[in-house]
């Protein structure tokens, strides 16, 4: 499962976890041993180096060096936690589409990501609504306050909110 997370300071893609892009992982510039280590870490990023080494048939030191080298080379950019939150189903999940002038896109995205934990993912799209935020709120009132506050940001021309009322396939990261 590939789950996208963003760095809230510069909103660049930082972390991926295997989801539906099965062929993507094979495009990495790594050998078979690195690939085995990546697949194990994709399933369980908390697995210790000794257990990984036992599974792939090498020493712990080899695993440690390989992981450090992949981090150094930018192949592995971070390790994340995935939540299986049953309580998250009580939250309000919304997709907020915004129409923003291209010249204002960077500034608006930065403003939205500044200290706003409700936004769990943000995407640039190729439609009239060129910024898409995936957000979670404790209540509809919190969602409305968020919309009222950020509708006033200079550069946002129009806004459309879609509230998730059910799911057919849940996101492991948000639980919804």
> What is the total count of domains within the chain?
2
Position 58 scores a pLDDT of 96
- Domain-terminating residue out of 42, 72, 102: 72
Structure-block tokens of residue 33: 């041993």
- Find the helix or strand (DSSP H, E) in which 32 lies: helix 32-43
Number of H helices, E strands in the chain: 5, 6
- CATH code, 29: 1.10.10.10
Same-domain status, 98 and 31: no
C-alpha–C-alpha distance, residues 19 and 69, integer Å? 24
Position 132 scores a pLDDT of 94
pTM above 0.85, yes or no: no
C-alpha–C-alpha distance, residues 133 and 124, integer Å? 9
Same-domain status, 93 and 38: no
Phi and psi of 111, rounded to 5°? -60, -45
C-alpha–C-alpha distance, residues 176 and 157, integer Å? 29
- The domain of 108 spans 87-163
Q: Is 130 part of any domain?
A: yes
Position 87 scores a pLDDT of 57
- Per-residue pLDDT 10s for the chain (176 aa) are 333 344 434 434 333 344 444 555 566 678 889 989 988 988 888 899 999 999 999 999 999 999 999 999 888 888 776 655 555 567 888 999 999 998 999 999 998 888 778 898 899 999 999 999 999 898 899 999 988 888 788 889 999 999 988 777 766 555 55
């Amino acid at each position: 499962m590939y789950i996208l997370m963003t760095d809230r300071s510069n909103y660049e893609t930082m972390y991926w976890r295997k989801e539906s892009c099965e062929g993507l992982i094979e495009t990495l510039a790594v050998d078979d041993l690195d690939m085995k280590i990546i697949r194990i870490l994709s399933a369980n990023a908390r697995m210790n180096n000794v257990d990984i080494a036992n599974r792939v048939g090498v020493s712990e030191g080899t695993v440690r060096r390989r992981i450090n080298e992949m981090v150094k080379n930018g192949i592995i950019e971070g390790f994340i936690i995935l939540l299986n939150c049953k309580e998250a189903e009580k939250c309000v999940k919304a997709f907020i589409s915004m129409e923003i002038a291209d010249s204002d896109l960077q500034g608006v995205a930065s403003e939205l990501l500044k200290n706003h934990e409700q936004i769990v993912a943000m995407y640039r799209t190729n439609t009239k609504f060129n910024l898409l935020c995936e957000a979670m709120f404790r209540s509809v009132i919190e969602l409305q306050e968020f919309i009222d506050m950020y509708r006033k940001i200079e550069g946002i021309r129009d806004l459309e909110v879609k509230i998730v009322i059910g799911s057919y396939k849940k996101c492991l990261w948000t639980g919804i």
